[in-house]
Structure 1
């Protein structure tokens, strides 16, 4: 009887202690920054992620999402997380050419077949390099959009058609490709791109499909190359000081929401939205066209040199580019996202 009472008392004490510890958790409000428009399909996914984090911390971590560059320009989102302007930032590493050479390999042409498995693949791959390349922030996860392509004022069939064109590239890696083919790069964030095209500052853009109508770019371009040319890698990163200020329980909850599984969950609705853009652009006034096998081979041959440029930049980080690329391709194969 005494043993039963003692065990019961211990259990009760542990329950009270857990309750007290839970009561002592310091509430924190997280500022989440997303530079895409409020109606973009990524934002509901980020809100769902935040709601799950809130539940996992018994409502002690709550969040407010600031879309549409409310906290700062798209180009600045990595530094915003580093400096604490935001607690979490949605970052396109390719907006700062040369700064993140390892992850830039994911935007080399003709690697990714889709964004669902592709997001799991890039996240699982990049985790081994993130601490080195993005040491100013806490890496949460990486993901990609559904494969994008050229959308232009004129029909682009062969790599030689790029010569003399002004093109807004999605990433620095695609920008290097444009330069190698004789084109000129026009730098602009996604929200600025329609204006650049409308004013004739750019002749074409590399962009995923569903976002062409979303950003109003369908009003200024008419030709769409139907080929999975590239993807853009993105990361969701956290301010280190904010993470360090959290309790152990809250940190664990954040860690549990910074996983490969969450990378795919957050990316999937956007992936489906972008894929649906193919049908939206198949309408009067637009031409969606496929390449012949010969034309596709010409593109593969013409863009193959981009990997050598990327490899040179990666060597400067102390990494072996051959091993880095082999690791990425193995991850893509594992998650059934390789072309």
Structure 2
């Protein structure tokens, strides 16, 4: 009888353990399915040593940490997965899972975003990145519907760098200029210049061969891409910024678990836009002093009258931009007012 009394708890324990094991067996596949490993291909077309790449890697490392190691990433810089011009379509088509895109490389395709590259809007790149992202979130789902929008950002303001000195808008007439964006290209055309299309990595060669006489570029990247070897005049004014976006393949996102999607969403914010853009903004800002220290280069400021002439010269480009926005079904005044309000909010307005 004693043995029987001892065996009953043992049998109950065994039954409970068996039930628990069976329950875990049912749950385990669901957990594994929910948290299956995901590896992301991140594509960046700037050189490996560009300050944007470490910032993107830090972003990816934080995603790995927050996902409990289930989301990992490999960064491919230097156009390894495709040309700079193709990066939006690369994300759309799944050639890359995340792509670094310059919307201005495809004139007319993203008319709303083009407004951010109109002259004399942005005072800086760091706060400006938070400002452009907060603004563009209202338009991205429609304008970039082929991809999952993550965030937008800008570099620190750029300007004209040229073989001959450019001080007034009339100096551009007859010149061949590589514009940073389609909006800057509209300004060049309205001033009687000719646009020469080239991605950043191709630009030095274009200038060296005389295919272009001038380029609009941020300060630090002039040295990074070797453009300081072929131009020597630099207009000292915050003329424009180039807007960029970091976008994701929709299918890759849709295949993730709800928990993994939340990790991605938490890393696609205005705060992360500023964090990723920050090191690059600092690099470009520091480029001004580096250029000033080089011999054989002239950095020149504009007089108030010259600056006023440039602001007036930019008006036709804004009118042309507005027409494109109207065709896309948006109100250009409302779009521009919203951008300026965001710039003021984030202390990045000129």
What TM-score does the superposition give when structure 2 sets the normalisation length?
0.91
Distance 1:227 1:201 in 2: 25
Q: Quick check: 1:86 aligned with 2:86? A: no
Residue 242 of structure 2: aligned partner: 232
Alignment counterpart, residue 327 of structure 2, candidates 313, 316, 319: 316
Distance 1:308 1:298 in 2: 17
Distance 1:48 1:175 in 2: 34
Residue 203 of structure 1: aligned partner: 213
Task: Give SS of 1:305's match.
Answer: helix
What TM-score does the superposition give when structure 1 sets the normalisation length?
0.94
Residue 74 of structure 2: aligned partner: 64
Distance 2:199 2:206 in 1: 10
Task: Give SS of 1:210's match.
Answer: helix
Task: Give SS of 1:98's match.
Answer: coil
TM-superposition CA deviations, 1:36-88 (whole Å, max 9, x none): 00000000000000000001110000000000000000000000000000000
Distance 1:316 1:197 in 2: 35
Alignment counterpart, residue 124 of structure 1, candidates 121, 124, 134: 134
Alignment counterpart, residue 325 of structure 1, candidates 321, 336, 347: 336
Distance 2:314 2:67 in 1: 47
In structure 1, runs of 5+ residues without a counterpart are 1-11
Distance 1:22 1:88 in 2: 26
Q: Quick check: 1:261 aligned with 2:271? A: yes
Q: Quick check: 1:189 aligned with 2:161? A: no
Task: Give SS of 1:167's match.
Answer: strand
Deviates more, 1:66-75 or 1:23-32: 23-32
TM-superposition CA deviations, 1:82-103 (whole Å, max 9, x none): 0000000000000000000000
Displacement of 1:305 in angstroms is 1.6
Displacement of 1:276 in angstroms is 0.4
Residue 34 of structure 1: aligned partner: 44
Distance 2:167 2:333 in 1: 31
Displacement of 1:205 in angstroms is 0.2
Distance 1:21 1:46 in 2: 32
Q: Quick check: 1:107 aligned with 2:117? A: yes
Q: Quick check: 1:133 aligned with 2:143? A: yes
Alignment of 1:231-310 (within 5 A): 231-282=241-292, 283-310=294-321
Number of residue pairs matched by the alignment: 326
Q: 1:297 to 1:19 in 2, by over 3 A?
A: farther
Task: Give SS of 2:197's match.
Answer: coil
Distance 2:193 2:328 in 1: 28
TM-superposition CA deviations, 1:160-215 (whole Å, max 9, x none): 00000000000000000000000000000000000000000000000000000000
Distance 2:30 2:56 in 1: 28
TM-superposition CA deviations, 1:221-241 (whole Å, max 9, x none): 000000000000000000000
Residue 3 of structure 1: aligned partner: none
Q: Quick check: 1:169 aligned with 2:170? A: no
Task: Give SS of 1:36's match.
Answer: coil
Q: What root-mean-square deviation, in Å, do the aligned CA atoms of Structure 1 and Structure 2 show?
A: 1.5
Displacement of 1:19 in angstroms is 8.7
Distance 2:132 2:218 in 1: 17
Between structure 1 and structure 2, the one with the greater Rg is 2
